[in-house]
Amino acid sequence: MAELTGFQEQAPYDERIDLRTDFVMVYGLNDTTAERIERWRRAGYRIHLMTGISWGTYQDYLYGDWDGEQHWDDAQTVADGSPILHGKDIPYMVPTVSFTDYLVQKLRPILELGVEGVHLEEPEFWARAGYSPAFRREWQAYFGEPWQDPHSSPEAHFRSGQLKQHLLTRSLDRVTTVLRDEALRAGHDLRFYVPTHSLLNYTQWQIISPESKLRDLVSVHGAIAQVWTGTSRTPNIYAGRHAERTFETAYLEYGIAQDLTRGTDRTLWFLHDPIEDQPDRTWQDYLANYHRTLVASLLHPDVTRFEVAPWPHRIFTRPYLSEGSTERIGIPPATATSYLITMNALRDLDGRGVYQQPDLPHFGVLLSDTAMFQRWRPGEAMGHYDGLQDALAVEGRELLNFSDFYGLALPPLFAGQQVRPVQLENLITTPGALDDLDVLILSYEFQKPLTPALHYALAAWVSQGGALLYVGDGSDPYHRIRQWWTGRYPDPAVHLAEALGIQGDSAGIQAVGAGHVRFVAASPADFTSSPERAAELCDHLERLTEAAGHDWTPSPWLSVRRGPYLIGAVLSEAEHGVTVSGRYLDLLDPDLPVITNRDLDPGDVVWLRDLDQGDELVLAAAGRIRDLERAADTVSFRCEAPRDVAVIIALRSVRPPRQVVGAEWEHEPAPGVLRLRHPGSPAGTAITISW
């Protein structure tokens, strides 16, 4: 059975949260882990295990029960000496050799639990940290020189970020390699995965993580792209307006997250979260923003595996606010049904043909791991943000906006172009990393190339017909850090121009082989300041795109067809909406209505099933259909769903049935849709339909 959909859960088995996916990630190692695993296994799941790698219940290590020594010196620490905490006595840890050895021992019981996969989530080191005794020792060992205050200079901050990434990567490599070797010697092929936020989000939230380095770890089999409402509603600036842009940010986050595994045989799941970590929003807000992130992920059709929810217990068993009320209520029945329709439909996307408009150019915005190392400038406040605070009130909000990146990505995206961030480091490790892109956008004003080899890879791509827009004014203080270009070039963009064989100080479009290049002397953040500046960047891109032989066609609408499914969004800053026509089942409506014309306003998203494509019997269901059998005039199956949820199933049926056993029914003759309704049961509701 393919592991197409799964979820993570720390609560004991409960029929109300039994989502009937392919696998479950039982969360955490404690005295109840074996019992929880066995109960989920009896429910029919493939079993994975998940635990934190940078924080957790590690008090036995901190207080000396493990080796007789206290290890609070290994906690990530800010300048005033206080630790960064994930909870009481749960600091984020510096991944020292000692702590890594402890993790190996702590995780070793996994080998006896019979799990198929282990997920070591969120390797994280805060950019504002770097003051603990352990980190100071690691600095001396790594750089061969005394520790420097990470906020004493741009160079110290950059080097601090490099060291933090190295330590996280080293720890993950040792933990996964040792435990996988022990598992193989015991005859068990144990797989390891790393659930991680996107490079875009970690950079925006000022956190360092391995990101592209994960591709070098031989015992890591893939990742979960942890993108959800809580990350993607982080505000940014476009056309001078500071606002949440959940769909567009999620679209960019999922876009860069693909590069965790793109071009490899490793596995990637996209995460969705119907609730998010912030507990004080309303059911209506959660559902609307879930739909925005869901659709954003589906517009990247190369990924067909999904974590449908973290923590189903907080979705289906906890109360939240409702619009216009201060009272907290349990999940509304229609909301539960809506979540389950989409969770089950996700499993149907694997193997579907994909259609996107082939004549439209594809744009890439290059993003490097080093952007995580530049999240501070002299005189700026670092602040702290993890999705739980009010972003408008956060100290260091200017830094949180990450306008250098969004100034390059949002203007073409809001012009309706197909834009995705691209991992810069992959250009020299992954053949064909740029094959599906026509135009690249690059700046070194907020990131740096760690090797000149990247420029030769870019020059080769351009000379074969690519188009490159470089944006930068040389003002970034990080240009003057000790790196390969120091003393020979004022900044790395000068070497890029040399590798391309062009004049970097020329403002015009220059030919390079069969391709084209344009250098624009400006700060990327400037293109966020007003509608006019956003239009200016689009004008540069339009001219370059047309010089490269492609059409620049502005549109308010992004869409893709995946088999019988039409998935689309009207951009939130669009000047007008669009109308979708046809015969479709609306998968984002819990009643699964048939629509023939849908007027979509700016900000609207849709997931529709085309009734005129395919001949499958089951069109959509808020449960998992099992054991489907068809005879001449009879169909029977079981529908599995969480206990007591209101299940709806839409079937293709030209004629009304003679009899339905196991469910109430209604028939809509014109489109030929039969809808069944019944309460959910994880064991399955037996349904027989006769005509």
Torsion of CA 360, 365, 369, 373, to 10 degrees: -160
Question: Measured at the alpha carbon of residue 66, what is the angle toward residues 62 and 67, in degrees to the nearest 5?
Answer: 100
- E-state strands within 474-514: 509-512
The dihedrals phi and psi of 391, each to the nearest 5 degrees, come to -60, -25
Q: Quick one: tokens of 343?
A: 């969770």
DSSP string of 525-539?
Answer: GGGGS-HHHHHHHHH
Q: How far apart are the first and last CA of the chain?
A: 32
Return the pLDDT at 397: 75
Return the pLDDT at 218: 97
DSSP string of 308-361?
Answer: EEE-HHHHHSS-EE-TT-S-EEPPPHHHHHHHHHHHHHGGG-TT--EE--TTS-
Return the pLDDT at 230: 94
Question: Closest by alpha carbon to 651, among 691, 679, 598?
Answer: 691
CA distances, 68 to each of 60, 72, 101, 598 (Å): 10, 13, 14, 67
CA atoms within 13 A on the CB side of 291: 23
Selecting from 3.20.20, 2.60.290, 3.30.70, 3.40.50, what CATH number does the domain 362-547 have?
Answer: 3.40.50
* Residue numbers in the chain where pLDDT is lower than 50: none
557-610, CATH topology level? Immunoglobulin-like (2.60.40)
Question: Closest by alpha carbon to 48, among 195, 191, 188, 194?
Answer: 191
Question: CB of 200 within 8 A of CB of 236?
Answer: no
- Give the C-alpha separation, 484 to 592, whole Å: 59
Q: Which residues contact 679 (CB under 8 A, 6 or more apart)?
A: 643, 644, 645, 646, 647, 685
According to DSSP, the residues that pair with 686 across neighbouring strands are 638
Please classify residue 295 by burial: count the beta carbons closer than 10 Å to its beta carbon, then call 0-12 exposed, 13-18 middle and 19+ buried: buried
The dihedrals phi and psi of 635, each to the nearest 5 degrees, come to -130, 135
List, for residues 47-98, the tens digit of each pLDDT value: 999 999 999 889 999 999 999 999 999 999 999 999 999 988 999 999 999 9
Helix, strand, coil abundance in the chain, percent, nearest 5 = 30, 25, 40
The radius of gyration of the chain's CA atoms, rounded to the nearest angstrom, is: 26
Q: Quick one: tokens of 91?
A: 């600091």
List, for residues 330-386, the tens digit of each pLDDT value: 999 999 999 999 999 999 999 999 998 777 899 999 999 999 999 998 877 777 888
Residue-wise over 467-476: b if at least 16 C-beta within 10 A, else e?
A: bbbbbbeeeb
List, for residues 121-165, the tens digit of each pLDDT value: 999 999 999 999 999 999 999 999 999 999 999 999 999 999 999
Return the pLDDT at 388: 78
List, for residues 8-44, the tens digit of each pLDDT value: 999 999 999 999 999 999 999 999 999 999 999 999 9
What 3-state DSSP class applies to 654? coil
What 3-state DSSP class applies to 136? helix
Question: CB of 214 within 8 A of CB of 194?
Answer: yes
